[in-house]
Structure 1
Amino acid sequence: MQRSETLEDFYRRYPNIYPQREGIPHKAVGNFNVYSRESCGKYAPYNRRDYYKISLIIGQGNLHYADKTIEINRNALVFFNPQVPYAWEPTSEKQAGYFCLFTSDFIHAPGNASILESPLFQIGGNPVFFIDKKQESHISMIFQKMLSERDSEYIYKYDLLRNYVNLIIHEALKFRPADSCFIHTTAASRIVTLFVELLERQFPVDSVEHTLKLRTANDYATRLSVHPNHLNRAVREVTGKTTTEHITNRVVQEAKALLMHTDWSVAEIAYCLGFEYPAYFNNFFKKQTNLTPRSLRK
């Protein structure tokens, strides 16, 4: 997890599976592409990508996402945010379905509403939606239209492809329980949204040279231009937890991911997460998890 994987890295990793199409400059298709998943039968490395991805998974495997592992044991629609590192570990021979890759530039075309504000791409949410046969058939049809349109000569095909991405997102939103879509109606909820976005923006830590800039509730309050007590009241009112609890939980989550998915030393991880000495990090981690960093890694 040394750096984010780019679209160019993706194409280089699969030169025989996803060759550059003749007559189409690589840059021209780099903002959007769609493929069949038949070739997804090998382990995809755990790291952060610099592109968004929507995948219709027909097959089984383990999705290592942030600091947790989600077992995919039936058909699923999965949404990947470039801010969250992940890896795919197939556990069944059959790997079918489709996936599309796109960058924020593709979505932020003139006159196009931002897809990226969808709750499906929110950091900290559950990216996996298990689907039934009827839903699978419907989503597959949309991906098939994407494949057909990708290779067409229609002058407005990228506008149409953006609409197909929007359609998949709206179909997925229908799968969500009605009460899972939260609309901010108070000043407190807006402050909490800004706090959570600022917190998540510090992660993931993808280099040993990367250190957290904001470590305390006071740091976040200063950056948001509010009094620490006001921030803490708002956070507790909306979430039931203190600002410090949220910061602590997120640091622990990142520590687990770094311990499990990198070969960095405990001292390097401690430094990246803002601890002056490894002993301070060891004490903090053991207090929060009842495990030492080394025991979790083993």
Structure 2
Amino acid sequence: MSTTTITKNNRAADVTVTDLNGNKHTTSLFNVYRREDYLCRSHSAYSRRDYYKISLIIGTGILYYAEKGIEINKPALLFSNPNVPYAWEASSEEQSGYFCLFKEDFIRHEELAHIPMFKIGGEPLFFISETQQKFISSLFEKMLDEIETDYTFKHDLLRNYVYLIIHEAMKMHPADAYFRPSNASARIASLFMELLERQFPIDSPAHNFKFKTANDYALHLSVHVNHLNRAVKEVTGKTTTTHISERIITEAKALLRHTDWNISEIAYSLGFDYPAYFNNFFKKQTNTNPKAYRQSLVD
């Protein structure tokens, strides 16, 4: 895979990809690359990316995706979405093929929602034949040519090439040779904790706290909620719900201590529909209510 850094704009993040020579290339909406020009010959960090990605992988290695792992020993087409972490561990020196990166704005949201390869829980990997490899390679080559032009409607044309790849994949059966790494429980627990921590700190009363329940995390990690709960309890000794509750309480105390937000603002920012729910939750966890806790800090 490639090395990426993320810089934020007002609406969407820019993606900076570093090639083998250390040169940085930035895309704000769509871009396409040859894999052999980038860092695909070793190991990439197991993490979530902030963009959609379609890769034509030519070379052998192991792909880790959510809690799954799959050995890639022939050309494959991979669809990655921003919600599910993945990593690539190369096992051959020769790595070639292509990949393109794009933001959600590049394809309309209502269309993305109906593309099965990008859905949470969908199968993202397809092994392809020599004929399919040649056809998909030709589409990526057309993208590489088009991205350099000044054609007014080039993004429309690039989008059409992406759709052709998507439809080619939809005609195939997804790869079914997944195995579970020996440390699958540790990996799932780590991903859960990372996703939990990523929601903090809360820096605005208008903050949208997205993942409130174990089921929310399971959906975004592409695992069954029972499997997530077992893995987290096995590795940490605590339930998923306990981790979520403890982290919310830690953040609630920090907001009560370090901000002048009223109790209602803190409650809403932490995902509670009503301040009374927050009060009851806080008292159950700490044996005091938010107002009394804040007052105790100044007494």
Question: Is the 2:48–2:84 contact (alpha carbons within 8 Å) kept by the matching residues of 1?
Answer: yes
Q: State the TM-score, normalized to the length of structure 2.
A: 0.59
Gapped runs of 5+ residues in structure 1? 21-25, 178-201, 218-244, 260-265, 278-298
Instruction: Tell me the equivalent position of 2:29.
Output: 31
**Aligned equivalents of 1:216, 1:78: Cα separation in 2:** 26
Instruction: Tell me the equivalent position of 1:142.
Output: 139
Question: What SS does structure 2 have at the residue aligned with 1:153?
Answer: coil
Deviations 1:229-269 (A, max 9, x none): xxxxxxxxxxxxxxxx942124446x49x96xxxxxx3799
Instruction: Tell me the equivalent position of 2:285.
Output: none
The verdict on how the C-alpha distance between 1:18 and 1:82 changes in structure 2, with shifts beyond 3 A counting, is: farther
2:176 counterpart of 1:160 = no
Q: How many residues get paired?
A: 205
2:104 maps to amino acid: S
After TM superposition, list the pairs within 5 Å mapping 1:1-298 onto structure 2.
6=6, 11=16, 13-14=18-19, 16=21, 19-20=24-25, 26=26, 29-38=27-36, 39=38, 40-108=40-108, 114-176=111-173, 205-208=194-197, 210=199, 213-215=212-214, 246-252=224-230, 255=232, 266=236, 273-274=243-244
Question: What SS does structure 2 have at the residue aligned with 1:148?
Answer: helix
**Aligned equivalents of 1:16, 1:268: Cα separation in 2:** 45
Deviations 1:23-54 (A, max 9, x none): xxx5xx42101000103112111110110000
The verdict on how the C-alpha distance between 1:246 and 1:75 changes in structure 2, with shifts beyond 3 A counting, is: closer
The verdict on how the C-alpha distance between 1:216 and 1:80 changes in structure 2, with shifts beyond 3 A counting, is: closer
Instruction: Tell me the equivalent position of 1:199.
Output: none
1:105 offset after TM fit, Å? Answer: 1.1
Question: Is the 2:55–2:79 contact (alpha carbons within 8 Å) kept by the matching residues of 1?
Answer: yes
2:212 maps to amino acid: K
Structure with the bigger percentage of helix: 1
Question: Is the 2:214–2:241 contact (alpha carbons within 8 Å) kept by the matching residues of 1?
Answer: no
Instruction: Tell me the equivalent position of 1:242.
Output: none
1:274 offset after TM fit, Å? Answer: 3.6
1:11 offset after TM fit, Å? Answer: 2.0
1:276 offset after TM fit, Å? Answer: 6.2
Instruction: Tell me the equivalent position of 1:281.
Output: none
Question: What SS does structure 1 have at the residue aligned with 2:82?
Answer: coil
**Aligned equivalents of 1:204, 1:5: Cα separation in 2:** 21
1:147 maps to amino acid: L
Instruction: Tell me the equivalent position of 1:183.
Output: none
**Aligned equivalents of 2:102, 2:215: Cα separation in 1:** 35
The verdict on how the C-alpha distance between 1:13 and 1:152 changes in structure 2, with shifts beyond 3 A counting, is: closer
Question: Is the 2:32–2:100 contact (alpha carbons within 8 Å) kept by the matching residues of 1?
Answer: yes
Gapped runs of 5+ residues in structure 2? 8-12, 175-190, 201-210, 217-222, 248-299
The structure with more radius of gyration = 2
The verdict on how the C-alpha distance between 1:149 and 1:252 changes in structure 2, with shifts beyond 3 A counting, is: farther
Q: Considering only aligned residues, what root-mean-square deviation do their CA atoms show, in Å?
A: 3.6
**Aligned equivalents of 2:58, 2:70: Cα separation in 1:** 15
**Aligned equivalents of 2:215, 2:46: Cα separation in 1:** 29
**Aligned equivalents of 1:104, 1:74: Cα separation in 2:** 29
The verdict on how the C-alpha distance between 1:67 and 1:203 changes in structure 2, with shifts beyond 3 A counting, is: same
The verdict on how the C-alpha distance between 1:215 and 1:271 changes in structure 2, with shifts beyond 3 A counting, is: closer
Q: State the TM-score, normalized to the length of structure 1.
A: 0.59
**Aligned equivalents of 2:96, 2:86: Cα separation in 1:** 19
Identity %: 45
The verdict on how the C-alpha distance between 1:276 and 1:152 changes in structure 2, with shifts beyond 3 A counting, is: closer
Question: Is the 2:79–2:125 contact (alpha carbons within 8 Å) kept by the matching residues of 1?
Answer: yes
Question: What SS does structure 1 have at the residue aligned with 2:143?
Answer: helix
